[in-house]
C-alpha cells in the first residue's frame, strides 16, 4: 500500500495549554528547539510522505510561514558566515508544491477537519497525523504503520493504539482486539469514551491513522457525536462495516503535548534523547530534584 499524502489537523484552539496558545498556535509550541509541527512533518517525511495537507483555522498563518523560505533571514545568516544555521533551515525546507493549506472555518471536530481535506487528498489512501502527539522512537510511528500495511489488503485501514490503565479507558477511544497477525491485529469494534467498566480492551486509539478515501463520504453526512462534534472515531466505526481495520501497537514513547504535564515531559524526554544536551540537562534537573 502506497501512502503519499498526510493530513495534519491544525485548526484547534489549544485550550488545555492556555494562556500559551492565546496568540501562538499550539502546533508552534517548542519541544527543545523545534515546534511541534516540525516533529510530525519530519516523522511523515521519514515514512515516505510526499504531500503534506494542513487543515488550518484563524490565527494559524505562522505555521505556513514556518515552512516558507525567509530570504531576509537566509541572507543575514549567509552574510555572517553561519553555515550550520543555514543547513538546519535548509533541511526543514519542503520542496515547492509539497504542502497544501485549507481552512476548517468552524470548530466542528476532528472528523470535520479531516473531511475538509477531501479535495486535496482525492481518491487514494492517506495518513492522518495529530501534531500534539509525539512518539519518541526510530523509526517513527507512521513509518511503522506504513511498513505494517504493506502485508495487508489494499483497502485496509490502520490505527495506532497504545495500552492505557484500565481505570482511564473511559477517557479515550478504545478498540476491541480480534485476530492477531504478528505485530498487528484485526480491530473488533471501536467505541468513543466508553462508560467505566465497559471498554472492550485497554488499547486506546492514538493520533496516527491510515484511512481509505471512502471515509470522506461517511464524514459528509456524519452526525455530531461526543462533545457535539463530528467524531472521526464514529466515521471509522461506519467504515468498518465494509472495510477492515487493523490496530498497530507501535514501539516508542508517546507524549501528549496538548496538556501541560505532557508538554513538560516531552521537553525532558526529547532533551535527554539528544547527545549534545543530555549531560547538561541531567545536571540542571538534579539541582531542582535536590531542593
DSSP string, 86-138: HHHHHHHPPPTT-EEEEE--S---HHHHHHTTHHHH-SS-EEEE-TTEEEE-S
Average pLDDT over residues 132-142: 94
C-alpha cell read off for 103 = 481552512
pLDDT in tens, 16-25: 888 888 888 9
What is the band of 280 on the pLDDT scale with cuts at 50, 70, 90?
A: very high
What is the band of 50 on the pLDDT scale with cuts at 50, 70, 90?
A: very high
pLDDT of residue 94: 82
**By the 8 A CB rule, do 86 and 77 touch?**
yes
* Distance (Å, whole) CA 62 – CA 48: 25
Confidence check: pLDDT of 47 > 80: yes
Confidence check: pLDDT of 199 > 80: yes
Q: By percentage, how much of the chain surpasses pLDDT 70? A: 99
Average pLDDT over residues 218-230: 80
pLDDT of residue 69: 83
pLDDT of residue 54: 96
pLDDT of residue 55: 95
What lies within 8 Å, CB to CB, of 180 at 6+ separation is 186
The conformation of residue 41, written as its DSSP 8-state character, comes to: H
* Distance (Å, whole) CA 9 – CA 50: 17
Integer-rounded Cα radius of gyration of the chain: 20
Comparing CA positions, the residue from 43, 41, 33, 47 lying closest to residue 63 is 41
Confidence check: pLDDT of 250 > 90: yes
**Which H helix or E strand runs over 9?**
strand 5-9
pLDDT of residue 21: 86
Q: By percentage, how much of the chain surpasses pLDDT 90? A: 59
Confidence check: pLDDT of 252 > 90: yes
pLDDT of residue 207: 92
* Distance (Å, whole) CA 57 – CA 266: 25
* Distance (Å, whole) CA 257 – CA 27: 9
Confidence check: pLDDT of 271 > 80: yes
Give, in degrees to the nearest 5, the angle at Cα 27 between 24 and 28: 55
What is the band of 160 on the pLDDT scale with cuts at 50, 70, 90?
A: very high
User: What is the CATH architecture of 5-289?
Assistant: Alpha-Beta Complex (3.90)
Position of cell 497477525? 181
Mean pLDDT, all residues of the chain: 90
Amino acid at each position: 500500500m502506497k501512502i503519499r499524502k498526510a493530513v495534519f489537523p491544525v485548526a484547534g484552539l489549544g485550550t488545555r495549554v492556555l494562556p500559551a496558545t492565546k496568540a501562538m498556535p499550539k502546533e508552534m509550541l517548542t519541544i527543545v528547539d523545534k515546534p511541534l509541527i516540525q516533529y510530525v512533518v519530519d516523522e511523515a517525511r521519514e515514512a515516505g510522505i510526499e504531500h503534506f495537507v494542513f487543515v488550518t483555522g484563524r490565527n494559524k498563518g505562522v505555521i505556513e510561514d514556518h515552512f516558507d523560505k525567509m530570504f531576509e533571514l537566509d541572507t543575514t545568516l549567509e552574510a555572517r558566515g553561519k553555515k550550520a544555521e543555514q543547513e538546519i533551515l535548509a533541511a526543514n525546507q519542503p520542496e515547492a508544491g509539497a504542502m497544501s493549506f485549507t481552512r476548517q472555518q468552524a470548530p466542528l471536530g476532528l472528523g470535520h477537519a479531516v473531511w475538509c481535506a477531501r479535495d486535496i487528498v482525492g481518491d487514494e489512501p492517506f495518513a492522518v497525523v495529530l501534531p500534539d502527539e509525539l512518539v519518541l522512537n526510530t523509526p517513527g510511528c507512521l513509518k511503522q504503520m506504513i511498513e505494517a500495511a504493506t502485508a495487508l489488503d489494499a483497502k485496509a485501514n490502520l490505527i495506532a493504539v497504545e495500552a492505557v490503565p484500565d481505570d482511564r479507558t473511559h477517557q479515550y477511544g478504545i478498540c476491541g482486539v480480534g485476530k492477531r497477525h504478528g505485530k498487528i491485529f484485526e480491530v473488533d469494534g471501536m467505541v468513543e469514551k466508553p462508560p467505566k467498566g465497559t471498554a472492550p480492551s485497554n488499547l486506546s486509539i492514538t493520533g496516527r491513522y491510515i484511512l481509505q478515501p471512502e471515509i470522506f463520504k461517511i464524514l459528509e453526512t456524519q452526525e455530531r457525536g461526543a462533545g457535539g462534534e463530528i467524531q472521526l472515531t464514529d466515521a471509522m466505526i461506519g467504515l468498518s462495516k465494509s472495510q477492515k481495520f487493523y490496530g498497530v501497537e507501535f514501539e516508542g514513547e508517546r507524549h501528549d503535548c496538548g496538556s501541560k504535564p505532557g508538554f513538560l515531559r516531552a521537553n525532558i524526554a526529547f532533551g535527554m534523547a539528544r547527545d549534545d544536551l543530555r549531560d547538561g540537562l541531567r545536571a540542571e534537573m538534579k539541582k531542582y530534584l535536590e531542593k
